[in-house]
C-alpha cells in the first residue's frame, strides 16, 4: 500500500511537502527523507506522535530509546513501519523536529492506494516554500556564544550570575540558605 502525506508548518503558511511512502517504510525512513529534504541535522532529537483528529498526542515514536518508564512505552522509529499506526485516510501525526522547544510539523495522510510505486519510497512528491529553520544546540551548549559572556559582568550587573561572584564573598558571613 502507498500513502501520500501532506506536511505543513504553523510557522510558514506558504510551506508544504507531500511525501510518498509505502506502508512497509519505517518512521526512521520518513524521518531521514524529511531531514534530508529540509537540510536539517538528522542527529538531533525528534519524535513522531500519532494524534487524534484534534491533533492531541496519543502515541509517541522516538528517534532513540529514551528509557522512559510509562504505561505507554514508545517504540523507536527504526522498529516501526508506517502501516502499524497509519491505516485510515486523514490519519494525523505530529513530527517534533525541534525537541527542546516543541516545534513541529503537522502531517496528515491525504491519499492511499493499493498500487505499488514505480520509485523507491519514501520520496518527496511536491514541495513549496521554505521550511522553518532548525535550531541548533550550539548556542545552548557553547558558553562562548552566549552574549552574557561577551561583556564584563561588573559592567552590566543585571547579567551577574552566581558563578561570576568571588567565592570568598560567599563565605563572609552570608547564610547559605537563600
pLDDT tens, N- to C-terminus, the chain (178 residues): 999 999 999 999 999 999 999 999 999 999 999 999 999 987 788 999 999 999 999 999 998 876 655 555 568 999 999 999 999 999 999 999 988 888 999 999 999 999 988 899 999 999 999 999 987 655 444 444 444 444 454 555 555 555 555 555 445 554 544 3
Q: 147-164: string of b/e by CB count within 10 Å (b at 16+)?
A: eeeeeeeeeeeebeeeee
CATH H-level, domain 2-135: superfamily = MM3350-like (3.10.290.30)
Q: Which pTM was predicted?
A: 0.72
**Whole-number Å distance between alpha carbons of 6 and 125:** 10
* Cα dihedral sign, 83-86-88-90: negative
**Whole-number Å distance between alpha carbons of 121 and 108:** 17
Instruction: Delimit the CATH 3.10.290.30 region(s) of the chain.
Output: 2-135
Amino acid at each position: 500500500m502507498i500513502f501520500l502525506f501532506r506536511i505543513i508548518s504553523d510557522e510558514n503558511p506558504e510551506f508544504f511537502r507531500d511525501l510518498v511512502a509505502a506502508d512497509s517504510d519505517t518512521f526512521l525512513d520518513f524521518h531521514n527523507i524529511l531531514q534530508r529534504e529540509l537540510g536539517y541535522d538528522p542527529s538531533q532529537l525528534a519524535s513522531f506522535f500519532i494524534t487524534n483528529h484534534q491533533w492531541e498526542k496519543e502515541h509517541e515514536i522516538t528517534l532513540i530509546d529514551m528509557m522512559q518508564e510509562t504505561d505507554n512505552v514508545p517504540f523507536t522509529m527504526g522498529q516501526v513501519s508506517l502501516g502499524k499506526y497509519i491505516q485510515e485516510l486523514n490519519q494525523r501525526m505530529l513530527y517534533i523536529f525541534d525537541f527542546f522547544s516543541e516545534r513541529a510539523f503537522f502531517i496528515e495522510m491525504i491519499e492511499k492506494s493499493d498500487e505499488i510505486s514505480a520509485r523507491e519510497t519514501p520520496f518527496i512528491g511536491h514541495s513549496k516554500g521554505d521550511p522553518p529553520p532548525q535550531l541548533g544546540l550550539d548556542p545552548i551548549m557553547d558558553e562562548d556564544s552566549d552574549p552574557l559572556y561577551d561583556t564584563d559582568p561588573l559592567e552590566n550587573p543585571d547579567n551577574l550570575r552566581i558563578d561570576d561572584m568571588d567565592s570568598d564573598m560567599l563565605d563572609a558571613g552570608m547564610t547559605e540558605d537563600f
